[in-house]
Structure formats: structure tokens, C-alpha cells
């Protein structure tokens, strides 16, 4: 059976990546883990743990704020979910670290899932 493993990230849309990253570091104790200049994103991790990230971005197409649950394999998860007669809002799509999809619960709440298949299923920090 597939399962949610943990919260992967919470994403915040910002107007100035560098200024916002500095704010999160100086005022909230976060540490920059990676930068993706092409996607206009900066990933920050907690100093005490690298299990989850705060991702700052400037992409208007991503809702503010956005979060996702990590799973081992999005494609397998979605296939099993559909086989149970459950609904998928957004079919699996490629993202920086692997694949992403959005499931629906019984009340049409969104359940975003993401995997790290492009990163050998391990977080990758610059």
C-alpha cells in the first residue's frame, strides 16, 4: 500500500527571492539548501532538521501558499489511488525533483503529492 511519508515543502510566492531568503534566514533561523535560478526558486531547510523545506518562488501559476506530501513514487501512488475509485485533480507531471500530482479527498480537499525520483529518492541540496 502506498502512504504519505511526510510533508515535503511549503511554498511561498515572494516578490524578491534574495530579500525574502535573507528574511527567512535572519529572522526565522532557516538555512538556504538550494537555488534554482531557472525556475526562480530558493529552498530553505530548518537548521535542526532537513526533513521538510520552505520553498520561496516568484511563479504566479503556483498558489500561495502551497504544500505537498512526499511519496515514494507519484505515478504508482496515483495508479493505486485511481484503482480504488478515488479522484485525481491534477495528473502526474514533471517537476524539478521528480513527479507531482494532486489528489482529491472525499470532500474535494486537495492533497498534493511529490516524489524525488529525479534525485534518486533523496533530497538534493546544493
CA distance linking residue 27 with residue 30, whole number of Å:
8
- Evaluate whether residue 104 is within a structural domain: yes
Nearest alpha-carbon partner for 9 in 52, 61, 48: 52
The share of the chain scoring above pLDDT 70, in percent, equals 97
Last residue of a domain, one of 35, 53, 70: 70
Mean pLDDT estimate for the chain: 89
| pLDDT of res. 47 | 83
- Same domain? 92 vs 61: no
| pLDDT tens digits along 7-20 | 889 988 899 999 99
Give the count of domains, the chain: 2
- Same domain? 77 vs 65: no
| pLDDT tens digits along 34-81 | 999 999 999 999 887 777 898 999 988 876 667 898 999 999 999 999
CA distance linking residue 1 with residue 81, whole number of Å:
10
Q: What does the DSSP 8-state code read for residue 75?
A: H
Measured in degrees and rounded to the nearest 5, phi and psi for residue 6 equal -175, 175
CB 88 within 8 A of CB 102: yes
CATH number of the domain where residue 58 is located: 3.10.180.10
CB 64 within 8 A of CB 54: no
- Same domain? 89 vs 101: yes
Amino acid at each position: 500500500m502506498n502512504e504519505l511519508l511526510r510533508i515535503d515543502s511549503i511554498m511561498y510566492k515572494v516578490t524578491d527571492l534574495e530579500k525574502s531568503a535573507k528574511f527567512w534566514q535572519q529572522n526565522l533561523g532557516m538555512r538556504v539548501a538550494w537555488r534554482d535560478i531557472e525556475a526562480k526558486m530558493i529552498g530553505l531547510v530548518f537548521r535542526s532538521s532537513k526533513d521538510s523545506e520552505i520553498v520561496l518562488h516568484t511563479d504566479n501559476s503556483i498558489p500561495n501558499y502551497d504544500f505537498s506530501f512526499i511519496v515514494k513514487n507519484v505515478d504508482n501512488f496515483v495508479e493505486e489511488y485511481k484503482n480504488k475509485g478515488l479522484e485525481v485533480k491534477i495528473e502526474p507531471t514533471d517537476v524539478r525533483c521528480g513527479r507531482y500530482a494532486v489528489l482529491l479527498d472525499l470532500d474535494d480537499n486537495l492533497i498534493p503529492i511529490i516524489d524525488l525520483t529525479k534525485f534518486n529518492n533523496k533530497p538534493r541540496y546544493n
